[in-house]
Chain A
């Protein structure tokens, strides 16, 4: 087995991983960093983020505003110390990206422009047209080339973590092109592997968003926190789930039902006027908007498309010039993938799974496993609570990517080299398990299990939930895990570029992450943020559930669910309200 020795392994080449790698290289150029990613970094899913990134720069905005929007948006399940750190560091990271070349959209005078986003009091979303994630990712990737300390391992699939004496000692990866198994021995490992939206059937996520980092950490004793909170983005193309950015509404787009009625006014997001105004109607938060869609659908106020029911996202009144300047990506996507031109027709949209608020529990990116760090969507550092606000995650990846890099660097300087016979032995055993998967030719097809998982999660752990539906879902996932153990039959038993093998390994992670989601959801006997129940637990219960859920891996059985207090510093829970009469917003 090939062994590569380095100080720190960064798993994942998206925004988090690249920012972490750069932070390590800048804090100590002598440290060696292996940036290990299952795709070439610029293919990472950060690339598909559209709307923008929050940072307080307007004179009429304050850090307290951003803090309060985030904490109330998260239905008070945010750790407020983490949110405070976050809001205080957004702007410096966004400016840092600008200094590295990121083409943020500008005002005529050359200053950065900002747009409205859902649940935000003031315009504070920095944007690069509607390709913000694309530009952030390419800027970080291209900048990372400057640093000789960052050694890239593109298209290496991380399949296992190696721990010894309770601390992390490296990762085991498959070189995709050759199928060779490689041990990376390291003092510290940073997970920047993104979310797990692919455990659902209809989602906005790229094919690679399979919860690998969550699964890796979970199997090795790190806890998954707040996994029941899965965000449905309200405006996605039916069928494919392709995202129509919240920036559409940030720029003034409206949502109407089959009768042309702006239905959000019926769901505590109105009144209609004055329009536009922040935190009301179409500028409400994603959980509330997706829930409103569900009700309209129940009432028969949606319309049929060949790929499911939908409502209209109407941009026409913005005019062609603004649509093309501010929203070029979704305009092209709507034209190509939905056959609709947003300049002349409304876009049919419906909610689809978009984001996992939960993840590997991490205190300022430090997980419970010494030497293991997590940041970005795969982590739960505590800033999103029960519902993430749009434009907070693109800043999260850079703010906490940097923290993870700096903390891992400081840790790596304090520990001795990783090599030991025990580490090699473990790597050999893990490699044998991976090769056993590769050889298997009896059992079911990987797509069969994957589709059944996606449907079970969609049905049982969707926008609205109830006890029996969630129970059905977790029983189904347990059954799928048993069928997975019984064997996935591969057609392809070759070593080189075997994506069927890699997909099978990913499915193993996804099933365990899905199970953690379903059990965390079942056990949260209240409604909060994106977790809303239709049974007797339809309201928020701060007495019992102002707590984070923690899922602990138990092997073949279901996860053990426990709870942990939420850190509250200055904002006591109160009723979360949107809409109401308010000041009219001035759109730029």
Chain B
């Protein structure tokens, strides 16, 4: 227990950028005391509360479910609440905003592009016909749920976009999280919306833009495996191109 209560000090380099000035981005070093269970987020909060109120970053739940606090930690996209200072000490630690997104200020990036892409995949259930509430819930077996369940676990933290070299090269790429969500609805037994989503899926900026690097799945804190979702849909996209998907879905084999 004594080791856990011991306070050590770590140096953190944080990228600073203030849009209200003309100054280019720079690094600033802070000395942060920490204990065994201090997260990187708590380190940033220590700086904000005690050393420098201008340091800007997003956070909220501190338990890896709200998706707010993604940053590059020593160059790797991670949730700062879910990463611990002890794992970097005695070396220095460097924190940058998520790659591939415009910076608003310090570690806060502009996520508008992602939100627009989320809209574009029609991420809502499109049923065959509206079912009255009085008729109760749809039946869905655990096996049917399994088809999409993993892809419903995405917390929209954007780590996969920061990890994706294709998104860095071609920002019009719909990208891992949005395509995984598209697949989440397509794979749901209650949904028949695949044709409404097929333009996005099949387009140049859809699944075909992915070159199967797979880093998106590696950094995903919720094991959503967007790379798998995307590459499954390369098959679906091909079947769709040859009209096979439509045929399969008419005989109930589309999922």
Contacts and interface: CB of A to CB of B under 8 A. Distances in A.
A109 B141 contact: yes
A177 B64 CA distance: 23
B66 A47 contact: yes
B60 interface: yes
A446 B141 contact: no
Interface stretch (B119-127, B167-175, B198-206, B208-216): B119-127
B107 to A, nearest CB: 10
A146 B123 CA distance: 9
Contacts of B61: 43, 45, 47-48, 206-207
B137 A112 contact: yes
Interface in B61-105: 61-68, 82, 104-105
Contact of B141 (A104, A110, A154, A206): A110
Contact of B105 (A47, A142, A497): A497
B125 A95 contact: no
A154 B66 CA distance: 15
A347 interface: no
B251 interface: no
A540 to B, nearest CB: 36
Interface in B111-143: 111, 115, 118-119, 122-125, 127, 131, 133, 136-142
A110 B139 contact: yes
B139 A99 contact: no
Contact of B137 (A98, A108, A494): A98
Interface stretch (A130-138, A164-172, A351-359): A130-138
A39 B115 CA distance: 13
Given A43-B67, A142-B124, A491 B53 contact: yes
A103 interface: yes
A92 interface: yes
B196 to A, nearest CB: 11
B23 to A, nearest CB: 12
A496 B1 contact: no
Contacts of A40: 111, 115, 156
A103 B152 contact: yes
Given A40-B111, A40-B115, A206 B53 contact: no
A145 B60 contact: no
A146 B124 contact: yes
A44 B127 CA distance: 27
A439 interface: no
B50 interface: yes
B66 A43 contact: yes
Interface in B214-238: none
B133 A99 contact: yes
A106 B127 contact: no
A497 B181 CA distance: 29
Nearest to A144: B124
A111 B137 contact: yes
Interface in A94-128: 95-96, 98-101, 103-104, 106, 108-112
Given A96-B133, A108-B142, A135-B152, A447 B60 contact: no
Nearest to A504: B53
Nearest to A107: B142
A35 to B, nearest CB: 13
B62 A447 contact: no
B9 interface: no
Contacts of A360: none
B62 A134 contact: no
Interface stretch (A75-83, A329-337, A461-469, A578-586): A329-337
Contacts of A110: 139-142, 144
B250 interface: no
Interface residues of A, number: 62
Nearest to A48: B61
Nearest to A177: B104
A101 B104 contact: no
The B interface, classified by DSSP as helix, strand, loop or mixed, is loop
B236 to A, nearest CB: 20
A111 B144 CA distance: 12
A145 B127 contact: no
Contacts of B145: 103, 106
A445 interface: yes
B137 A104 contact: yes
Contacts of A208: 60
Contacts of B136: 95
B123 A145 contact: yes
A145 B65 contact: no
A492 interface: yes
A496 B124 CA distance: 33
A500 B48 contact: yes
Contacts of A206: 60-62, 66
A419 interface: no
Interface string A232-245: 00000001101100
Contact of A145 (B63, B64, B119): B119
A99 B125 contact: yes
Contacts of A495: 20
Contacts of A447: 48-50
B246 interface: no
Given A110-B141, A142-B123, A146-B124, A337 B68 contact: no
Contacts of B30: none
Interface in B138-185: 138-142, 144-145, 148-149, 152-153, 155-156, 181, 185
A43 B68 contact: yes
Contacts of B137: 95, 98-99, 104, 111-112
B18 interface: yes
10 contacts: A42-B67, A48-B65, A92-B133, A100-B125, A101-B190, A110-B141, A145-B122, A145-B124, A240-B37, A499-B48
Interface of A: 39-40, 42-45, 47-48, 92, 95-96, 98-101, 103-104, 106, 108-112, 131, 134-135, 138, 142-143, 145-146, 154, 177, 206-208, 239-240, 242-243, 304, 306-307, 329, 332-333, 336-337, 339, 445-447, 490-492, 494-500
| 4 interchain residue pairs of minimum CB distance | A491-B53, A110-B139, A447-B49, A101-B125
Given A110-B139, A207-B61, A304-B1, 9 more contacts: A39-B60, A40-B115, A44-B66, A108-B141, A145-B122, A243-B63, A337-B63, A497-B108, A498-B56
